[in-house]
Structure formats: C-alpha cells, structure tokens
C-alpha cells in the first residue's frame, strides 16, 4: 500500500474490509468476542446487524458440535493458522438451519509482543458449487443404473484417430479383452451388407452431430442385431469424439419378426374367413335358394291342381317337395360342418385306423350295395381333431362310393408314407375319375362337375376336406391317375406325428 496519511489510510482500510465481497471477521479471547465483522460476514451469520461486541460462541450456538469452536481455540492457543476446504457448516439463517459449504480460514493475528491477539476468519461460500456437484453425482448414479439395467454398453469414438474405447459390457458384446481397439476391428464384425450403413452413420455425425444405426453383426459366428446411438462430445478436451451407447437388440428384432408373422398369419385367417363369408353369400343366393324355390313351385302347383279336382301327379309332386326339403336340410348341415371346421381342438390323439373302421360301419349299406372293398395301411397315431379327420375320411370314402363306375365293384385303397418332413396319405379308387382340367375346380365350394340329378351331393364335400387338411397345416391335391379312378394326396407336416 502506498504511503498515506494515517487518517486516510485508516478510512481506506476500513472501507476495503467492510465492502469486501467475501466474509471477514476478527474474534478475540477465549469467548471469541466479535471485534470486527464486515457486511458480508454479518450476512453469513444470518443473525441481524448488531453482532459486533457479542461473542461468536453465543450468536452461533449451532456451531457447538461442529468442531469449529475447537478449531478457533486451537488457533488462538497455538498461533497456527487453520484452513478448511469445502467444509460443511450448518448455520441457522433467518431461523432455518441449513447446510452451507465454505472454504474458510482461521488466521492468527499477533499483538505487538508476539502474543496471539485474535483470529481473523475469512471464508468463501461454495454451497452452490457443492449442490451442483452433488446433483452431478446423483445424475451420474442414475445414469449408471439406467445403463446397467437396460444392458447398454457405452463407448467413445475418437473419429480422428479411428479408435474406440468401450465399457466392460460394450467390449463383452464382441468378446474382446481390451477396452480400447481400432474402429476397423469393430467394422469387421459388421455384416458385409450393413457396413455401408455404419459408414453413412459416421458421415452423418458431421452434419447433425448425432449418430444412429441398427446393424447386423457377426459375433462368434452368430448373427446379432446391434443398435448404436451417440452424439458428438461437448467437452472442451474431446475434439471430434463421439460418445454413445450400444445395445444388443437381437431379441427385440426376433420378437418383432414373430409379431409380424403372427399378424400375417392372423391376416391370412381373417382373409380366409372373409372369403368364406363371400362364398356364403353365393351359397345363399344360389344353392340354398334353389331347393326353397322348388318347394314353393311344387306346392303351388299342388295347391292349384288340388283345387281343380284329384290329380294323378300328387304323389310325384309331393315326392319332389320332399326331395327338395331333404336336400335343403343336407345343405344346411354341410354348411354348418364347413363353418364349424374353423376352430376345433387340433391337439387330440387321433387313431386313423379306428376312424376308417368306424366309417366302414357308418357306410355299411352303401358298401354292400357297391360290393366295395376298402383297404388301408396301418396308420401311426397322430395329433389333430378327431371329428375333422372323421369328416375328412368320411367324405373321401363316400365320394369314392358315389362316383363308382357302373358294373364295377368299388375298390378304395388308403395308404401312407412317412419321411422326415411329412406324412403323406393317398386315397385312391377305381371310380369314374376326375378329368385333369377339373382337378382344382373340385375343391371349390358348391362346385359340381355333374348335374345333381345324376349324382346327389351338396358340392361341399371336397371343399370341406381341403379345409380340414389346411387346418392341420397340410395340403390336399387331386393327382392324375394312370389308370381309371381318382387319387387324392394329402400331405401333412411331420409335426402331426405324435
């Protein structure tokens, strides 16, 4: 300080101390009487303006158990300065006890004899800094937890040097040992077709500052889906460094794919039931309407004729009405069968041998009539719907009997073969057969190849058979026969075998 007249010097010093933007206080004696405290210190005490001349220990009783008085007395006693960094001091300010953080010093002031006259207390409050630090620690803790629980790997890429450093989990993704490796090492894991995606994503960083890509990677010969996302670091000492997270999303991808397949399957089922509905409309407008109209037609004639006296045709008309009504009933039954084939239990134990035998009993009269012989191989037990398999073979056998050749004994052969993928069942007969051009048409609902007066039937039989086979995951086709007769080939997946 420049040499100043004492009076001026005193005022300047007093002003400097009083207006200094950090707390300054001087305490003397064992009771630590406050002999000096600047504005800032008075504010820090938080006990009002009239503190000069009071004892430090009295106005700040809350410090009693915080070792501060001991530190002060130690300085008074020994004359050695005390320094605290970032120390927590709980002070009552405006009646509320709150933690504060200070860097503070207790500096001894010596008298003319070299004795310790008092202690100067200077402090810098660092509470805000501390709160911020604690928040940072808290945030980091949460972040760690998030990263840990979502099984994320973190990484940093030094784009200039082409080096990547990863967290333990990150390097574990790739079964690597070292935390740092070259980008080329990483790129080599990427599926060839996806490497362009990686390069594009890296290029994109310079435009948007963000990094995002989903890639297939081959790790230990296994395909993994990985998602990378990151952003350019904003730290001053990390120029052109990409920080980010990586996640193995193989499972998610698999689930999404399965979901997609499920949606497709459901859509297919919906479409199928929609088609059925359309066909049902067709059935109503053509096939069901026909016998109803016949009943009306003949009963009208009958009514008119009877009014005109007895008619020889009465029984003939009654017969026709009867036939139409029977046909209507039969069609309604088969439509119900067809529509209920939609959701049966497909997991029953089915013995086809037993089913064929019971059908043989059901059709006994027809079989005798046609002198039919039915042969079948010994079938393994399968899983499926009993009632549906009964319907399937019933329709096929009844069809063979119906479409037998005149003056020939009917012969029906049912055999099978098994390979790793499928169970193939062939139903062959020696009947009138099916022309090649009709081999697909026959499976349409209500498709009749013959006029119904020549061969009775609803036109639903084979459509139902095909639907039953498809419900069991199989295919049914009509194969051209080398000799006469019809052959149906049913291919069921091998999973149907118990």
Partner 1 sequence: MTQKLFKHILLADDDLDDCEFFSDVFKTNFPDVKLTVSNDGKVLMNLLEGPPAAQADMIFLDLNMPVLSGPQCLEKIRTSLELNKHIVVIFSTSSSPSDIQKMYSLGANYFITKPAEYNDLSKLINKAMSLVSQTDIKQPSFENFYIKL
Instruction: Enumerate binding residues for partner 1 (CB under 8 A).
Output: 281, 285-287, 289-290, 293-294, 296-297, 300-301, 304, 320, 446, 448-453
Tell me the backbone φ, ψ of residue 308, rounded to 5 degrees: -95, 20
Q: Looking at 329-406, which runs of residues are DSSP E strands? A: 348-350, 373-376, 382-384
The nearest distance, CB 335 to partner 1, in angstroms, is 16
Cα separation, 452 vs 456, in Å, equals 5
The nearest distance, CB 286 to partner 1, in angstroms, is 5
The nearest distance, CB 253 to partner 1, in angstroms, is 44
The radius of gyration computed from the CA coordinates of the chain, to the nearest angstrom, equals 49
Cα separation, 253 vs 217, in Å, equals 13
Name the DSSP class of 62. G
* Closer Cβ to partner 1, 264 or 304, answer by number: 304
Contact 360, 322 (CB under 8 A): no
Cα separation, 104 vs 119, in Å, equals 12
SS3 175: coil
The nearest distance, CB 287 to partner 1, in angstroms, is 7
* Closer Cβ to partner 1, 320 or 471, answer by number: 320
* Closer Cβ to partner 1, 108 or 459, answer by number: 459
* Closer Cβ to partner 1, 31 or 450, answer by number: 450
The nearest distance, CB 298 to partner 1, in angstroms, is 8
* Closer Cβ to partner 1, 105 or 279, answer by number: 279
How far is C-alpha 187 from the geometric centre of its chain's CA atoms?
28
The nearest distance, CB 290 to partner 1, in angstroms, is 5
* Closer Cβ to partner 1, 219 or 301, answer by number: 301
The nearest distance, CB 313 to partner 1, in angstroms, is 12
User: Angle, to 10 degrees, between the axis of helix 289-307 and the axis of helix 314-340?
Assistant: 160
Q: How does strand 411-418 pair with strand 373-376?
A: parallel
Buried-state track 369-384, b at ≥16 Cβ within 10 A, e below 16: ebebebebeebeebeb
Residues 6+ apart with CB under 8 A from 486: 399, 400, 403, 428, 429, 431, 432, 433, 434, 478
Residues 6+ apart with CB under 8 A from 188: none
The nearest distance, CB 437 to partner 1, in angstroms, is 10
The nearest distance, CB 361 to partner 1, in angstroms, is 32
SS3 468: helix
* Closer Cβ to partner 1, 172 or 300, answer by number: 300
Name the DSSP class of 497. B
Contact 196, 216 (CB under 8 A): no
* Closer Cβ to partner 1, 197 or 301, answer by number: 301
Give the residue among 236, 224, 165, 220 at the shortest CA–CA distance from 191.
224
* Closer Cβ to partner 1, 252 or 300, answer by number: 300
* Closer Cβ to partner 1, 229 or 299, answer by number: 299
The nearest distance, CB 472 to partner 1, in angstroms, is 30
């Amino acid at each position: 300080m420049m040499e100043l007249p004492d009076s001026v010097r005193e005022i300047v010093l007093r002003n400097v101390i009083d207006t200094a933007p950090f707390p300054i206080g001087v305490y003397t004696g064992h009771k630590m009487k406050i002999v000096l405290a600047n504005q800032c210190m008075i504010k820090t005490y938080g006990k009002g303006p009239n503190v000069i001349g009071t004892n430090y220990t009295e106005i700040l009783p809350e410090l009693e158990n915080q070792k501060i008085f001991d530190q002060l007395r130690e300085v008074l006693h020994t004359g050695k300065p005390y320094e605290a960094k970032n120390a927590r001091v709980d002070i009552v300010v405006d009646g509320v006890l709150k933690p504060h953080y200070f860097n503070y010093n207790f500096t001894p002031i010596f008298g003319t004899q070299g004795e310790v006259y008092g202690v100067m207390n200077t402090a810098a409050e660092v509470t805000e800094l501390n709160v911020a630090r604690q928040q940072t620690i808290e945030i980091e803790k949460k972040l760690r937890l998030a990263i840990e629980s979502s099984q994320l790997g973190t990484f940093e890429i030094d784009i200039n040097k082409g080096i990547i450093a990863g967290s333990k989990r990150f390097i574990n993704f790739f079964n690597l040992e070292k935390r740092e490796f070259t980008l080329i090492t990483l790129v080599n894991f990427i599926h060839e077709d996806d490497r362009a995606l990686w390069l594009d994503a890296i290029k994109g960083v310079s435009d948007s500052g963000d990094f995002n890509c989903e890639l297939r990677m081959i790790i230990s010969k296994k395909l993994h889906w990985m998602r990378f996302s990151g952003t350019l670091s904003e730290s001053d000492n990390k120029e052109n460094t990409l920080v980010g997270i990586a996640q193995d999303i193989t499972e998610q991808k698999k689930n999404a794919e399965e979901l997609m397949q499920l949606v497709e399957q459901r859509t297919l089922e919906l479409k199928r039931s929609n088609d059925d509905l359309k066909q049902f409309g067709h059935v109503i407008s053509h096939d069901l309407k026909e016998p109803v109209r016949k009943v009306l037609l003949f009963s009208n004639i009958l009514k008119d004729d009877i009014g005109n006296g007895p008619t020889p045709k009465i029984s003939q008309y009654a017969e026709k009405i009867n036939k139409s009504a029977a046909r209507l009933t039969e069609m309604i039954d088969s439509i119900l069968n067809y529509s209920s084939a939609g959701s049966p239990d497909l997991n029953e134990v089915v013995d086809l041998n037993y089913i064929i035998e019971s059908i043989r009993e059901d059709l006994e009269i027809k079989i005798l009539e046609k002198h039919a012989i039915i042969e079948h191989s010994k079938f393994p037990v399968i899983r499926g719907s009993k009632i549906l398999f009964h319907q399937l073979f019933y329709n096929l056998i009844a069809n063979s009997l119906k479409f037998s050749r005149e003056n020939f004994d009917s012969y029906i052969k049912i055999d099978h073969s098994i390979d790793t993928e499928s169970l193939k069942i062939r139903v062959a007969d020696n009947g009138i057969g099916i022309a090649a051009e009709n081999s697909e048409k026959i499976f349409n609902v209500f498709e009749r190849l013959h006029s119904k007066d020549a061969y009775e039937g609803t036109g639903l039989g084979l459509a139902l058979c095909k639907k039953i086979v498809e419900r069991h995951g199989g295919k049914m086709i009509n194969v051209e026969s080398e000799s006469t007769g019809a052959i149906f080939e049913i291919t069921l997946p091998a999973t149907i075998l118990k």
